[in-house]
Structure 1
């Protein structure tokens, strides 16, 4: 049971969102957040920490041009209707961010946003949706994830979390894990797994590199992989097997 404690504590804290408040906005052509109670929010300072981590560890995914973020549903919620994301801050600072068809977007570096103590705000309830780093090497099929991409995604997510959770918890987790590198820690003989979202419910996931493979744990639309296991290189691939869509004929 003690082996699971650090991983459980870490997962619980990373799943917790910030509790910032959002001022009402009345402009007709801007994101409407005043009617949304507890929207999904990240401080711009925390997002900058994620961008810095992406640049620092870019060698893990050298073919990924920039860090992007993605809107993901929580707890079985469907994809959001008319999602909008922007940076807003003091003195009526507003910077809309462009979303692609997959609900992904990038966040620019902006001294103005930093000076305005900006926040990245999604016009959807935090209860149902969240904003998450998304690192994907171009050219891979939709059901394939590269291990180096997942490692870099983890590092950016942790960098953001460290800026948003209280310093007490950062120091506590560092002590529990005996390292500041939350993505690559080991606990005695155990190699903790990190969970990642897939784009659809799963029936299986396999980690492959060269002539060897390993069956990974799956749970609904999530799969788990031990990022700290250095016996697997960054170019190892996770192949996901999606469950058939309801009403689809069996293969």
Structure 2
């Protein structure tokens, strides 16, 4: 930031999957130095204790099928506070550039002439399975993994994912934001050639004290998840590696 400028700055901080211990050193420093923090429910909220007593904390969360803070309002708040000379942290879960609106926030700030930078977070797509003892690759089982947004299913006109290729990839599939469409996603993969007996698991509330892991197959996982009342945040892992069922220590 130019010390001669009256502008503040915006820092997009990835908070990881939810455990404050997984927040980066840079992210913790940014929280401690922030004048304003805009946070959502997926960030490790306990880390807000790192902020100064005089810092302004603003909840801009989005609850699925519930109350929503429009992205345009979030962008406007970031710009407004930075233009007032404040150091603003946008505190998010996971990583700002992985299925988040971080890039939109960056562009909004840049277009408004507001200095902006990113402190990457630990991606939930990788950390969640690992915390459940599920490796995403394993020599001899699979050498690749794909991370997919499940906010729309395979049959939705807004879907741009090549589900046919995923079903035939022989790799691990990680689905984020797919709780509401899990049945459609799993059925769509089977219809496109994936064996219905392929191991699959849901990891709910990864890194939190009440983390829950459900093991099944891609054919039966949706009904099991529904019976268990799984709600976001949760991710799904599909592939042979799920069958390893490693245990964390």
Question: What is the TM-score with the length of structure 1 in the denominator?
Answer: 0.25
Q: Normalized per residue, which structure has more strand? A: 1
Q: Normalized per residue, which structure has more helix? A: 2
Question: What is the TM-score with the length of structure 2 in the denominator?
Answer: 0.26
